[in-house]
Amino acid sequence: MSKPKIGVILSTTRTGRFADRAAAWLLELTAQRHDLEFELLDLRDYPLPLFDEPKSPLWAPSTNEVAQRWTSKIAALDGYIFVTAEYNHGVPGVLKNAIDYVAHVFAKKPAAYVGYGGVGAARAVEQLRLINIEQQMAPLKSAVHIGGADFIDLLVHGKSFADKPHLVPGVQAMLEELAWWTRALRQARAEAPASRAAA
């Protein structure tokens, strides 16, 4: 069986976003693992219109070509890491919009989180956990929060992630948890009857 595939989803598309730096650091650390494959998913590559489909994706697939590409990519993955900012105590709108285009293909797969901002995007991560539960995902307890002085140092004071080695154990703990859940749920999906696997 091939290695499980994890999508690293960037939550914002704005100019000057910090997400690129956080994701690059994360992918450097994931490269040390040999049990999972990781792929960066940039929402800039999926310019979805504001969700206005006549029916929920639970009942009818979107006719939008970008939405179809996005859904197919999500379906091909076994787990996800959301690299997220926090806007007004919540999930960035572009990420929520992208999630709303996808239905059952997220189900029975794990979700992990790397948040950044003043409080490490803690509130956005909590909202994402609730959203992911509704999609029948398995949100992980372990998360990485880049906040406070660490975030200001990285954003304003010219520091690099190499100056923040204390953040690495949190990533490693998250990846261990993600690997366990990815393997367990992948096996369970493979063993489930086809009619129930996507339920």
**CATH code of residue 69:** 3.40.50.360
Indicate whether 131 pLDDT > 80.
yes
Domain that holds residue 131: 5-197
Q: Which pTM was predicted?
A: 0.94
Number of domains in the chain: 1
For the segment 56-78, the average pLDDT, to the nearest whole number, is: 94
Find out whether 174 and 156 touch, Cβ atoms under 8 Å.
no
Residue 116 to residues 22, 113, 121, 142, 167, Cα–Cα distance (Å) = 8, 10, 5, 15, 12
| Pairing state between β 110-116 and 138-146 | parallel
* Spatial separation of the C-alpha atoms in residues 197 and 199, rounded to whole Å: 6
Residue 111 to residues 33, 74, 150, Cα–Cα distance (Å) = 18, 12, 24
Per-residue pLDDT of 79-108, as tens digits, reads 999 999 999 999 999 999 999 999 889 999
* Spatial separation of the C-alpha atoms in residues 6 and 77, rounded to whole Å: 6
What was the pLDDT predicted at 197?
Answer: 47
What percent of the chain has a predicted confidence (pLDDT) above 70?
97
Rg (CA), the chain: 17
Find out whether 147 and 122 touch, Cβ atoms under 8 Å.
yes
